[in-house]
């Protein structure tokens, strides 16, 4: 056999394509090499979203504004759910901004393989670039909405100095909270997109689950509203906090509006650990699927 005699030169291959790699073989160095591509995808996502529209980026603000008005009518006036004494628009806007970022990122990233199969079928680049670019471009959208929130906040505090909303020290956790949101959505998104390449049902299931999920998260109502309710002997509060998004939203609201009470470090750390595990799991699964998804998608 000619192959048996391996010269020392044989060792220096730049590219080795094998059917199966080890489970944890995510090539972060390669990913870093493609950072320019990532930034271009971010640019593309932002530029193309509102091309040929009159309002352009203003749509980023119109969406949450209309949502908040709707919530004020439905959950505020009709259902009469209290908002911990904080002005309603501020309360809903804070929740909507954060939740929108999470939901939007997740919807986008969970669709990665199916939506981009035409590009992925033609050329190779680390597929992870795509969901990461989605998360980053949504960050811009989020920061515009967050700016809008701060603006409304400012108007409120000038017009009505006695309104209950006030900053607390937890507001400094803001960057961490956003990072956790991004991590969670990327984690969920990559796992779902990996699974939808084969079983397309998950996409349908997921698109309506995410709507239900919003109601399981204290967006349109304060967590304090659960009070001393119990379910099977366990406080409902605990169930709510098992949802990893809840501690983040609650901390955000407590930090910026001072409403309710801090959920406690214990839950925030739980949420953080959850995010880390989910994200690493998601990336590993995604990485495994990306090698062969073209055959199944």
Instruction: Say whether residue 44 binds another protein (CB under 8 A).
Output: yes
Q: Give the nearest distance from C-beta 143 to another protein in angstroms.
A: 23
Q: Please, which residue, 30 or 160, has the CB nearer to another protein?
A: 30
Contacts of 121 (CB under 8 A, 6+ apart): 294
CB of 122 to another protein, least distance (A): 4
- Contact between 292 and another protein by CB under 8 A: the answer reads yes
Asked if 190 contacts 282 with a C-beta cutoff of 8 angstroms, the reply is yes
The residue within the footprint of another protein, chosen from 199, 215, 231, 265 (CB under 8 A), is: 199
The single-letter DSSP state of residue 170 is G
Pick between residue 44 and residue 266 the one whose CB is nearest to another protein.
44
Closest CA to 114 of 38, 189, 193: 193
Identified binder of another protein from the candidate list 125, 148, 156, 174, rule CB under 8 A: 125
Cα–chain-centroid distance for residue 186? 6
Q: How far is the CB of 90 from another protein (least distance, A)?
A: 36
Among 131, 257, 259, smallest CA distance to 184 is for 131
Tell me how far apart the terminal alpha carbons of the chain are, to the nearest angstrom.
39
Per residue, the 3-state secondary structure of 196-262, as one string, reads HCCCCHHHHHHHHHHHHHHHCCCCCCCHHHHCCCEECCEEHHHHHHHCCHHHHHHHHHHHHHCCCCC
- Tell me if 12 contacts another protein by CB under 8 A: yes
Question: Looking at 69, 74, 79, 119, which residue binds another protein (CB under 8 A)?
Answer: 119
199 vs 215, which CB is nearer to another protein? 199
Query: Residue ranges of the alpha helices (H) in 23-125?
Result: 28-33, 35-49, 59-71, 88-109, 112-115, 117-120
Of the candidates 293, 284, 297, 294, which has an alpha carbon nearest to the alpha carbon of residue 187?
Answer: 284
Task: Indicate which single residue of 1, 123, 158, 232 sits in contact with another protein (rule: CB under 8 A).
Answer: 123
The Cα–Cα gap between 258 and 124 comes to: 48
Among 6, 8, 19, 233, binds another protein (CB under 8 A): 19
Q: Does the protein bind another protein through residue 205 (CB under 8 A)?
A: no
Task: Output 15 or 54, the one with its CB closest to another protein.
Answer: 15
Choosing from 27, 32, 47, 273, the residue that interacts with another protein (CB under 8 A) is 47
- Identify whether the C-beta of residue 193 lies closer than 8 Å to the C-beta of residue 109: yes
Does the protein bind another protein through residue 3 (CB under 8 A)?
A: yes
Return the residues of window 221-260 that contact another protein according to CB under 8 A. none
Smallest distance from the beta carbon of 19 to another protein, in angstroms? 5
57 binds another protein (CB under 8 A): no
Based on the shown chain and the rule CB under 8 A, indicate whether residue 29 belongs to the binding site for another protein: no
Query: Are the C-beta atoms of 178 and 131 separated by less than 8 Å?
Result: no
Interface residues with another protein (CB under 8 A) are: 3, 9, 12-19, 33-34, 36-37, 39-40, 43-44, 47-48, 51-52, 119-125, 198-200, 291-292, 294-296
């Amino acid at each position: 056999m000619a192959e048996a005699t391996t010269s020392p030169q044989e060792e220096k291959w730049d590219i080795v394509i094998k059917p199966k790699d080890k489970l944890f073989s995510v090539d972060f160095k390669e990913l870093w090499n493609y950072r320019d591509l990532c930034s271009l995808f971010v640019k593309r996502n932002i530029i193309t979203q509102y091309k040929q529209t009159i309002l352009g980026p203003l749509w980023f603000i119109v969406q949450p504004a209309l949502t908040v008005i709707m919530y004020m009518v439905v959950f505020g006036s009709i259902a009469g759910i209290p908002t911990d004494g904080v002005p309603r628009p501020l309360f809903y806007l804070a929740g909507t901004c954060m939740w929108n970022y999470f939901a939007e990122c997740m919807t986008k990233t969970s669709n990665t393989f199916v939506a981009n199969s035409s590009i992925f079928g033609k050329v190779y680049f680390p597929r992870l670039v795509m969901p990461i670019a989605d998360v980053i471009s949504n960050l811009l959208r989020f920061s515009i909405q967050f700016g809008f929130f701060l603006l409304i906040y400012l108007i409120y505090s000038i017009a009505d100095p006695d309104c209950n909303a006030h900053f607390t020290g937890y507001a400094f956790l803001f960057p961490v909270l956003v990072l956790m949101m991004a991590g969670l959505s990327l984690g969920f998104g990559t796992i779902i997109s990996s699974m939808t390449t084969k079983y397309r049902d998950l996409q349908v299931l997921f698109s309506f689950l995410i709507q239900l999920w919003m109601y399981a998260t204290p967006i349109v109502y304060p967590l304090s509203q659960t009070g001393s309710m119990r379910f099977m002997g366990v406080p409902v509060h605990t169930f709510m906090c098992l949802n990893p998004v809840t501690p983040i939203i609650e901390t955000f609201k407590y930090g910026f509006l001072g409403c309710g009470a801090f959920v406690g470090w214990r839950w925030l750390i739980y949420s953080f650990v959850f995010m880390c595990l989910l994200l690493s799991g998601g990336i590993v699964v995604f990485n495994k699927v990306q090698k062969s998804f073209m055959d199944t998608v």
